[in-house]
Structure 1
Amino acid sequence: MTPVSTGAGELDRPLAVVPPGERGATRIADRVVAKIASQAAREAVGTLPPGADRPSASVTVHHDVAHVRVHIELDYPCDVGARCRTVRAQVVERVGDLVGMQVPEVVVHVERLHLTAAHGTGQGRTR
Structure 2
Amino acid sequence: MTPAQTPPPRVAPAERGATRIADRVVAKIAARAAREALAEGAGGLPEASSPHADVTVHHDIARVRVSLELDYPSDLAARCAAVRRQVALRVEEYAGMTVPEVDVEIEHLHPTDVRAAAGRDRRLR
| Superposition TM-score, scaled by structure 1 size | 0.80
Q: Does 1:93 align with 2:66?
A: no
Q: Does 1:103 align with 2:96?
A: no
Question: Alignment partner for residue 21 of structure 1, among 7, 14, 21?
Answer: 14
Q: Which runs of no fewer than 5 residues in structure 2 stay unpaired?
A: 119-125
Q: Which runs of no fewer than 5 residues in structure 1 stay unpaired?
A: 4-10, 122-127
Q: Does 1:58 align with 2:54?
A: yes
Q: Does 1:79 align with 2:75?
A: yes
Q: CA deviation at 1:120?
A: 5.0
Q: CA deviation at 1:13?
A: 4.5
Distance 1:21 1:48 in 2: 41
Of all paired residues, the percent bearing the same amino acid is 59
Counterpart residue type for residue 23 of structure 1: R
Q: Write out per-residue CA displacement over residues 56-110 of structure 1, whole angstroms, 9 at most, x where no aligned residue.
A: 0010000000000000101111010010000000001000111111000100000
Larger Rg: 1
Counterpart residue type for residue 86 of structure 1: A
RMSD after superposition: 1.8
Counterpart residue type for residue 14 of structure 1: P
Higher helix share: 2
Counterpart residue type for residue 14 of structure 2: G
Q: CA deviation at 1:21?
A: 1.0
- TM alignment of 1:24-39, pairs within 5 A: 24-39=17-32
Distance 1:53 1:77 in 2: 16
Higher strand share: 1
